[in-house]
Structure 1
């Protein structure tokens, strides 16, 4: 269950950011980012609230378009999710286990697709302005397909930086992600997104 939640949230992965001013509107800023940005990195704090519990995790992320991302949880547990363009690798340090799955089949129309694919936003989501709160302007992204896995995604911007993301999945779980220390022009290579399972761990295929 933890692996499925993390893979769906990478997404958060992930990650939609924007460059723009408030007068231009959050949607215009988001579209500008989607058009202009080739890479982004930074830190995150993620809280997942379900009917039974609430859990907060922290870590760092890196994204390089097209199709590459790395999402590392460092607290309270260590876990790494890597998308190398073909395969998603999920390494759970505590379990000494790696799970691999097809990137196309796992991501689909999820937020991770938006991050690594410049065409996914307009093709898979309907966008509308969703007000402001605490100095953050929000865009509401609603999936066009009923089987997308998410009821909605809210993407928030503060000034010229990505500030927050809110997601509600089809099971009613709510995820809130706060971003910090963003670098909109990270110097990343493809080797950053190359994953080799450590010796001695179990490797499972989905």
Structure 2
């Protein structure tokens, strides 16, 4: 059965570590005092009410090769709503309305719905300072070509998230690298980012299409994306 990779499908943290070593090699002469990662993320969140962007998603494998490439759009609304729309190569829609998460696969004529309860989802790190401080240890890693890299490690052991890296330029999030305990990495790159646009009232409301099967997922440990 075809399945589009979600936000917590990952490949090779080893590659990420190797990239970090290469990036840091030429930067050891920089000031020993690193920027405060919380200050950087505060800049991303400053006065943030809504956010929209195009995204390019891929799995990172040996030799820095990319596979399972996907294109789409994402909309977020502080503090806990988002709409994630995969468009290519296959369509799939994920809507979080603050209480439930709806995953709609049009080709399969199927909707999976579950309680919205995963506080390790990196979307909440972007939108919610309290959740990120509560669930993650945060560290500034490196400045590479004007991009600040911040790593976040879950404070409690997770079966799904080992580490998250956020790439920030100015006050804009440009990249998310996600690593799981199986040493797999998934990368999201964001373009055409818009802050605080007026979004339609029904943007984060999902209505089940007629004739579509609805599956209730009772496993609250399952990731939302």
Q: TM-score, normalised by structure 1?
A: 0.82
**1:91 maps to which residue?**
104
**1:18 maps to which residue?**
none
Instruction: Give the gaps of 5 or more residues in structure 1.
Output: 10-22
Q: Distance in 1 between matches of 2:182 and 2:132?
A: 23
8 A contact 1:89–1:98 mirrored in 2: yes
Q: Distance in 1 between matches of 2:5 and 2:86?
A: 13
Q: Cα deviations across residues 130-153 of structure 1 (Å, max 9, x unaligned)?
A: 113343210011111102621111
**1:72 maps to which residue?**
85
Tell which deviates more after alignment, 79-88 or 180-189. Answer: 180-189
**2:175 maps to which residue?**
164
**1:59 maps to which residue?**
72
2:211 aligned with 1:200, yes or no?
yes
Q: Distance in 2 between matches of 1:26 and 1:182?
A: 21
Q: Distance in 2 between matches of 1:148 and 1:132?
A: 29
Larger Rg: 2
SS at match of 1:178: strand
SS at match of 1:193: coil
The structure-2 alpha-carbon separation of the partners of 1:113 and 1:146, relative to structure 1 and needing over 3 Å to count, comes to same
8 A contact 2:100–2:115 mirrored in 1: yes
**1:127 maps to which residue?**
138
Q: Distance in 2 between matches of 1:175 and 1:7?
A: 7
How far 1:26 sits from its partner (Å)?
A: 4.7
8 A contact 2:109–2:213 mirrored in 1: yes
SS at match of 1:95: coil
How many residue pairs are counted as aligned between the two chains? Answer: 190
SS at match of 2:42: helix
The structure-2 alpha-carbon separation of the partners of 1:148 and 1:113, relative to structure 1 and needing over 3 Å to count, comes to farther
Instruction: Give the gaps of 5 or more residues in structure 2.
Output: 10-33, 218-225
Q: TM-score, normalised by structure 2?
A: 0.75
The structure-2 alpha-carbon separation of the partners of 1:76 and 1:93, relative to structure 1 and needing over 3 Å to count, comes to same
2:66 aligned with 1:46, yes or no?
no
8 A contact 2:72–2:85 mirrored in 1: yes
SS at match of 1:114: helix
